Amino acid sequence: MTIHIGAKPGDIAETVLMPGDPYRAKWAAETFLTDVRLVNEVRGMLGYTGTWNGHKVTIQGSGMGMPSLSIYANELLRDYGAKTLIRIGSCGGMQPEVKVRDVIIAMTATTLGSPSDSIFREVNFAPCADWSLLSAATEAAKGFDVDVHVGGIYSSDTFYAERADLDEQMVRHGILGVEMEAAELYTLAARHKARALAVLTVSDHLQTGESLPSDQRERSFGDMVEIALQAAFA
Ligand code: ADE
């Protein structure tokens, strides 16, 4: 047990999918895994371990934002020996060709600041996805009826951003979408010699103001979970 995860040693798989929302963790585990067990409910941040195609998998909520994700990813990597962490979540589209419902596979995650900044001091570390996961997810996504974009994303600290000029610079530099966790996930995976990737559904769009109705979120989320599982065990 760690401070924030109540699982016993051996309860957590080497491969962990991390949605922000703990109820998404529950839904994904019950929908895609067999022999599912609840392994964590500390602070309501639900985690489940089960089997997918003969492989042991944990699906653990990360909470919203990099400080929250950092707690769970640190404990999974340092104390439970996780080797592959895949964020499955939503993001806001930033480019005109990126539409609501599309999937973004994040090659890099730009950030204004992450919980890891204090150790890098003046260095701008470049958080990037694990190549084997990135290429496997890109390949797996071809089997789904969904438009997929591979490229850079922006990990923001604010959902309700006040700095329009920042978003403008992101758009100008080709950033596909904005979310709030991947940069810290990629940085921690690098530090612990683990693999990380973020597979994201576009739930809203910063330029068009469109957003995915809640009744359509489940299907998009399901595609993302399957892409992540196929990539993890490719
Ligand atoms: N996650 C989903 N949509 C988002 C947005 N517009 N900004 C930040 N994170 C998000």
- Is 50 within a domain? yes
- Is 103 within a domain? yes
- Is 61 within a domain? yes
The reported pLDDT for the residue numbered 11 is: 97
The reported pLDDT for the residue numbered 38 is: 98
Is 167 assigned a catalytic role? no
Query: What distance in Å separates the CA atoms of residue 63 and residue 35, rounded to the nearest whole number?
Result: 24
**Contacts with 97 (C-beta within 8 Å, 6 or more apart), sequence order:** 149
Residue with token string 């957003």: 211
Our mutation pick for probing the ligand 1 site, out of 62, 98, 179, 184, counting the most ligand atoms within 8 A of Cβ, is 179
- Is 85 within a domain? yes
Residues contacting ligand 1 via CB (< 6 Å): 90-92, 156, 159, 178-180, 203-204
Both structure tokens of 124: 């701008």
Q: Which atom of ligand 1 is nearest to the CA of 180?
A: 9
- Is 1 within a domain? no
- Is 10 within a domain? no
Report the share of the chain in percent with pLDDT over 70.
Answer: 100
Average pLDDT, the chain: 96
The reported pLDDT for the residue numbered 213 is: 85
Query: What distance in Å separates the CA atoms of residue 181 and residue 185, rounded to the nearest whole number?
Result: 7
**Does the annotation list 62 as a binding residue?**
no
Number of domains in the chain: 1
Our mutation pick for probing the ligand 1 site, out of 204, 208, 217, 221, counting the most ligand atoms within 8 A of Cβ, is 204
Query: What distance in Å separates the CA atoms of residue 154 and residue 170, rounded to the nearest whole number?
Result: 7
The reported pLDDT for the residue numbered 13 is: 98
Residue with token string 């006040």: 162
Query: What distance in Å separates the CA atoms of residue 50 and residue 66, rounded to the nearest whole number?
Result: 26
**Residue numbers of the chain with a pLDDT score lower than 50:** none
Domain that holds residue 212: 15-232
**Does the annotation list 180 as a binding residue?**
yes
CATH of the domain at 209: 3.40.50.1580
- Is 126 within a domain? yes
Catalytic residue among 21, 130, 204, 223: 204
